[in-house]
Every structure is written in C-alpha cells, then in structure tokens.
Amino acid sequence: RVLSCFAAAFSLVCGLWVGVRRRSSAVLLLWTLVLSGVCMAIVAMLQKFTGTDLVLWTVKSPNAQFWGTFFYRNHGGAYLILMIIACSALYFYHFNRAERRGQSGGPHLLLFVFVAVLMTSLGLALSRGGILFGGLMTGCFFIAAAGRWLFSTSIRNSILLTLVVGSLLGAGGYMAFQYVDVQDIERRFGDIEKTIETADQDSRMICTKVTWKMAQEELWFGWGAGSWRYIFPMYQKSYPKIFYIRYHPSRGWMGRKIYHYAHNDVVQFLCEYGIVGCSFLLLIFGYWVWCLLFRAAGNTMSAVMLLIGLVMVFGHAFADFILQSPVYWVALNGLFCVSVKLLSLHSERVYR
C-alpha cells in the first residue's frame, strides 16, 4: 500500500514536471483540480443537508463521520484546505494577469467565491484540524487579497465590480453562517484552555511521545515503510491509557485499543523512514520552496500563498494523519508540482 502510494505520487510529479511545457496547460490542470474540489465541497454539503448515511447516496461508509467522497472527515477537510491553497495561488496569478492587461475583471473574482464555498464546507464538516488550519489559510488569503487590491494600479477601474462581488460574498457569508452550527463547532473544540492544560494526558500526545521513542531507536534508517502499526503495540502495552479501552472500578483496565496511525505524520514519517528516508522527501519539498523563493518573478503573492499553504499542511500533519491518505498525498504533490511549474514558466518568460 505504501509503495503504491509513493509510486503514484512520484510518477505523477515526474509526468507533470516533464510534460507540462506551457502555462496554459498548467493553468488548465489547476482549474480542473479546483473545480473538482469545489464540486466535492458542494456534494458534501448536500449530503449533510439531506441527512444521508451513504457516500454519494449509494456507497455505505465504514466510518459514520465521512465528508464528501472521503470516508474520514479529517481527510476530507484536509483536502478542502488544499483546494483553498490552490484557489489562493490561482487568484493572484489571474489578478496579476488582469492587471497587466488593464482588465477590471477576470476569473480571479470567481476564485474568491470558491474560497468562501470551501470554507463553508469545512465549517460544516466539523473537523477541528480542518477548521483551524483552513480558517488560518483563508484569513491569510483574505488579508493578502485586500492588501493586493489596495495597491493595485487598476483600483479605480475595479471599485464598482469589487463592491458587487463583495456584496455577493457578504450575502453568501451570511447565508453560510445560518447553516453552520457554531455551537457544534464549539462542542468539537471543547474547553480549549482545559485541553491545553491536560495535553500530556491526551491519547494522541501519548502516541506521539511513544512514536518519538520508537524513532530514536532506529533514527537513521527507520523501522520501515508502513511498519508503525506492527511495531507500536510492543511499546503501547507499557501505557495503559492508550492500551486499554476503559477502566472499571472493580475489574480494572478492560478492552484493547488498536491504532493504525500515530495521529502525527511528521513523527511517524521519521519513525518509519528515518533520517535517510525523510531526507529524500525533504529534498523534494525543499526544491519546491527554493523555486517559490527564487523562480516566481511576477507572481510573488502566488508564491507566498503556496509557502503559507505548505506551512499549514505540515502543521496539520503534525496533529493528524492526513498524509496517510493516498488521495491527499497524490493531490498534495501534484498541486505543488504544477503550481511551481506554472510560476517557473512565467518567470522564464519574464526574463527571456
């Protein structure tokens, strides 16, 4: 399973990097990805409103908390955050192009609406990580978009159109607020202050500590890809809180908990692949970062959004196992590969 997941991502990245030679091809791929993500977000909301317990109204989910086409809502939420990142990068790319051409409108205004739709779907999904990191990403995008608009050379020509779009967004935001149950979100997050104070007793935090202990024993080469679920039980039994299901006053600890993932991909990756294995992954993402820093002339804000998005991805991965989803892993690599390729092609044209 792990081999097929990495092989799919590697093949996709190689194919995209070698095959995409025109900016129009990269833009088309990104728009296809964004539209599919927005459609998934809308379908997810429709499924919630209709009260169905079937994925796409036809497939029974092994997990009651599914979202859209994802059986696990946290993975669905993470995927929607990827779409917000893609929308943010595309927004500034089209904004810059419209400004260079002296146009007052463009497809970037539609992307503004898409971000609002995606964030509404995240709010309804009730995924804590999705709401937190998606909200941060959306907030960064809105602040950057407002700042970019204020310093735009076409601000005088686009005030009326922007006001119309802003009014539509305001109305849409009000309607979304009516559907999103804020009390449900508050219940999902619980008492944040209490959660922080008792973080050391949280099962996910204990799993992270145990996984770090495992990683230290095989630090350079790791235990092997996909081995965590088999090695972890040997360490798990030393921690009753994560080994047993419940504690009975008279019978003592009862039941047995089974973990498939550490709920912390960063530490789990280090545990499974070691420093040597992780270095290859870091080299790939490091190259994306280098390109965004030094090969994005003319599209600085798009590069900034992608860099912020990468921080959000790894921050989310530190608190959940989003990188264990094959769909998400392939989409993540494909998104950054195509985005970096697009900005690099534009930069080459600027300095040609």
Residue closest to 259 by CA, chosen among 239, 238, 230:
230
Residue 146 banded pLDDT, cuts 50, 70, 90: confident
Specify the higher pLDDT residue, 285 or 176. 285
Number of Cβ within a 10 Å radius of residue 245 = 10
Checking if the pLDDT of 158 tops 60, the result is no
Position 120: which residue type?
T
**Per-residue pLDDT at 176:** 59
77-104 pLDDT, tens digit each: 999 999 999 999 999 999 888 888 776 6
Residue 246 near residue 254 (C-beta atoms within 8 A)? yes
List of E strands, the chain: 54-55, 59-60, 246-248, 252-254
pTM above 0.85, yes or no: yes
Mean pLDDT calculated for residue range 58-62: 90
98-102, 115-119, 135-139, 323-327: which has the minimum mean pLDDT? 98-102
Position 14: which residue type?
C
**Per-residue pLDDT at 217:** 93
Mean pLDDT calculated for residue range 269-297: 94
**Per-residue pLDDT at 253:** 67
Checking if the pLDDT of 346 tops 60, the result is yes
- The Cα-based distances of 141 to 84, 92, 98, 119 in angstroms read 9, 10, 18, 12
Q: Which residues contact 2 (CB under 8 A, 6 or more apart)?
A: 225, 226
Residue 134 banded pLDDT, cuts 50, 70, 90: very high
Checking if the pLDDT of 341 tops 60, the result is yes
Separation of alpha carbons 26 and 144, rounded Å: 23
Q: Which residues contact 80 (CB under 8 A, 6 or more apart)?
A: 37, 40, 41, 118, 121, 122, 125, 130, 134
Residue closest to 152 by CA, chosen among 112, 85, 101:
101
**Per-residue pLDDT at 154:** 53
| Backbone angles phi and psi of 211, in degrees to 5 | -65, -40
Checking if the pLDDT of 105 tops 80, the result is no
Mean pLDDT calculated for residue range 200-219: 89
- Three-state SS annotation for 318-332: CCCCHHHCHHHHHHH
